[in-house]
């Protein structure tokens, strides 16, 4: 039972990371410097850092069994530094 719950949590987290990776180039181009909040692979919202707590609350309301994923969206300059 516990292993099954962990597997569901893991696949949900994987869905969030897949969403982030799949849409990263567009997010960087259009919303770099802002924050993204996802839950169960679904976009909850994007906004300035100050909006993150409200977006997490919204995610928990919509997806009560999920752990929301929040991350800063890098800017083009951030990614150039990495390369």
pTM of the model: 0.81
Number of domains in the chain: 1
- Scored b (16 or more CB within 10 A) or e, 40-59 reads bbebbbbeeeeebeebbebb
Which pLDDT belongs to residue 13? 66
Asked if residues 45 and 60 have their Cβ atoms less than 8 Å apart, the reply is no
- Give the structural domain span for 51: 2-82
**pLDDT tens over the chain, length 83 residues:** 444 544 555 555 699 999 999 999 999 999 999 999 999 999 999 999 999 999 999 999 999 999 999 999 999 998 886 65
Q: What are 45's strand-pairing partners?
A: 37
């Amino acid at each position: 039972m516990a292993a099954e719950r962990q597997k569901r949590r893991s696949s949900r987290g994987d869905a969030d990371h897949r969403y982030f990776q799949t849409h990263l180039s567009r997010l960087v181009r259009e919303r770099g410097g802002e924050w993204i909040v996802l839950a169960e692979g679904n976009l909850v919202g994007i906004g300035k850092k100050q909006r993150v707590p409200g977006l997490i609350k919204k995610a928990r309301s919509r997806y009560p069994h999920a752990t929301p994923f929040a991350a800063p969206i890098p800017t083009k300059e951030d990614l150039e530094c990495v390369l």
